[in-house]
Structure 1
């Protein structure tokens, strides 16, 4: 049986463990930073090995696959060690915190013949799979344009942590854009020709609170008295909003497809978040920020809500939670590939390193043309 070692004890680590078990693998160990936390989580999940030393865990657990489920700032060294050991690597996004380190890991994996999976995995949401099939079947003609619009209205008082820090893999580009870019690439084509964008840190600071170990429950730690003079504050150094434009090559169109990615992490939505694929003959509208809601098709005459086809529904893991469902899908494909079964292409460190380089360019570039002299 395929053996899996998990790094990370929080929401992602526990979710990855469940996904690999559902794929028929054996989860043989879990590694975390805090001894009592990793011991308790491993005991609860019935994982035989728990520890805090990653290299020792590799040697003792002898995994076929390692699953990296920690914030992006903690990814590089454990992945490098896992590749050196010879384990295949399943890594949550972001891959690392910089394009050069992500590219280094991609190159190392290729040199060693290591299989990799990069969990920008909302491309496996049921309606996204449906949209992909419709575009491939010519339902909207040649794709011309895509828009991805989302507004999360996140609480500004969420305790200061990795998501506020560039060095730890925080920022909305790392944790939102990676998914939407993967979705668009899976539906219309993954050759990214051009990119431009801007980012904005409209948060500034967040309260420092002890005891937050699980990303999914961080809201439970928001202080009740934000005016408490003893409360400490941490300064954000990452973006909470972004606007990105891209051009992608598509095998379904002669001309490049224009894409708009617009995300506001701290602002409220008025209408639903959505992803829309426009074509020369029609359009596909997906409800939800990751297209995980209902699908509507415009055939040139009007919009119609479409039911998920049975053949696609049969491939969707029967688990609760959209994030968990997509992890299960990708983990299943990854395990099947490692076992030598034929699978469709899935996101790997190729995409992970490419996306990290793109994020670097967006954060560092200046897309603006100065018109002040013409005012």
Structure 2
């Protein structure tokens, strides 16, 4: 079979990572589109990609790719994805799928109408440690799951330059860019899905300095002004959440009763104990270190905690020389490309999940479940 031809949208960290992942899956990356002409030209030259451009529609028409990889901020996704679907391309899209549930639902409908295969990169569920925990839980190591907690505190700098992460209309916010992974992990671990949800969000940021020159999201800290009290600085207003608390009830095929789940994330506050994901059951518990559970795994068998090493088959399932973000992109793109080529593969997240997650985020952001309590 001929190699799949892939066109990438986005020249930053995600664009480069998607390129690497699709190449590892055996696809040919034929082009990359970015906002800035000279940046796109420089990145494609470095990566050995034959086409660079700034016009997405033009690139779709000229290159006629089999697959597009959307590695841009969420605010650009609807137009890019809808144009790709209209061109008959299969679509791999990083999270969030869109800026709201309505837009995400429309993208899902459009893909289904055209028979387009889709993949949605809520991908940290593919770390070896999370897959190890999933296996243990499925084998009955903790009995029936009853409770999950996902706790993280990132202590992000308040001087991070103003950009897409501060704006709801651009796909920013911690729900779009953190909760999506945490929710996918929780659902993966207990083999279930959210059936009820409520939550609260806060914008602890307020404002951020406007600084020119930021292109790569991963290097934005390099642009933090030395003096945040400099009167010459311009400031942009944040309009998204930087902290959230979410409670959910999830149906699990491993439990007769709904599983209680707590998600707690503070984007700007310091951690004291380890960030972690824990799953409690009727006969034991599993504790995963790390905000996405990618650290050491501990199993409580009802008597004591014991660290469990990752099995060799799971440890070898990801490229060891890469960071965990890139590792997980490799797993999901491999499944996606094999599926497109007609191979039988395990299920992976698609626009169906991305659409559902975006509608859940809409519910949480409304925070309309509060009940006033009368004072005695």
CA distance in 1, matches of 2:340, 2:87: 16
* TM-superposition CA deviations, 1:72-103 (whole Å, max 9, x none): 00100110010011110000000110100000
CA distance in 2, matches of 1:225, 1:154: 17
What TM-score comes out, normalization by structure 2 length?
Answer: 0.98
CA distance in 2, matches of 1:202, 1:322: 28
CA distance in 2, matches of 1:353, 1:340: 24
Q: Over aligned residues, Cα RMSD in angstroms?
A: 0.8
* TM-superposition CA deviations, 1:20-71 (whole Å, max 9, x none): 0111110000000111010110001000000011111111111111000000
Quote the offset at 1:293 in angstroms. 0.3
Matched position secondary structure for 1:17: helix
1:5 aligns with 2:7: yes
Quote the offset at 1:342 in angstroms. 1.2
Quote the offset at 1:364 in angstroms. 1.1
Partner of 1:374 in structure 2?
Answer: 375
* TM-superposition CA deviations, 1:282-305 (whole Å, max 9, x none): 001000000000100000010000
Task: Give structure 2 stretches of 5+ with no counterpart.
Answer: none
Paired residues in the alignment total 374
Partner of 2:17 in structure 1?
Answer: 15
CA distance in 1, matches of 2:220, 2:316: 34
Partner of 1:112 in structure 2?
Answer: 114
CA distance in 2, matches of 1:76, 1:318: 34
Asked if structure 1 preserves the Cα contact closer than 8 Å seen for 2:8 and 2:71, the reply is yes
Moved more, 220-229 or 203-212: 220-229
CA distance in 1, matches of 2:321, 2:371: 48
Quote the offset at 1:229 in angstroms. 1.2
Partner of 1:285 in structure 2?
Answer: 287
Matched position secondary structure for 1:284: strand
CA distance in 1, matches of 2:317, 2:37: 38
Partner of 2:60 in structure 1?
Answer: 58
1:197 aligns with 2:199: yes
> 1:113-152 alignment to 2 at 5 Å?
113-152=115-154
CA distance in 2, matches of 1:322, 1:314: 13
Extract structure 1 runs of 4+ deviating beyond 3 A: none
Quote the offset at 1:327 in angstroms. 0.7
Asked if structure 2 preserves the Cα contact closer than 8 Å seen for 1:198 and 1:367, the reply is no
CA distance in 1, matches of 2:200, 2:229: 33
* TM-superposition CA deviations, 1:300-340 (whole Å, max 9, x none): 01000001112222322333111111111111111111111
CA distance in 2, matches of 1:90, 1:151: 29
Partner of 2:311 in structure 1?
Answer: 309
Quote the offset at 1:228 in angstroms. 1.4
CA distance in 2, matches of 1:198, 1:314: 39
> 1:25-44 alignment to 2 at 5 Å?
25-44=27-46
Matched position secondary structure for 1:149: strand
1:226 aligns with 2:232: no
Partner of 1:78 in structure 2?
Answer: 80
Q: Pick from 99, 102, 106 the counterpart of residue 100 of structure 1.
A: 102
Task: Give structure 1 stretches of 5+ with no counterpart.
Answer: none
CA distance in 2, matches of 1:3, 1:265: 38
> 1:268-347 alignment to 2 at 5 Å?
268-347=270-349
CA distance in 1, matches of 2:316, 2:220: 34
CA distance in 1, matches of 2:306, 2:162: 44
CA distance in 1, matches of 2:319, 2:26: 13
Partner of 2:189 in structure 1?
Answer: 187
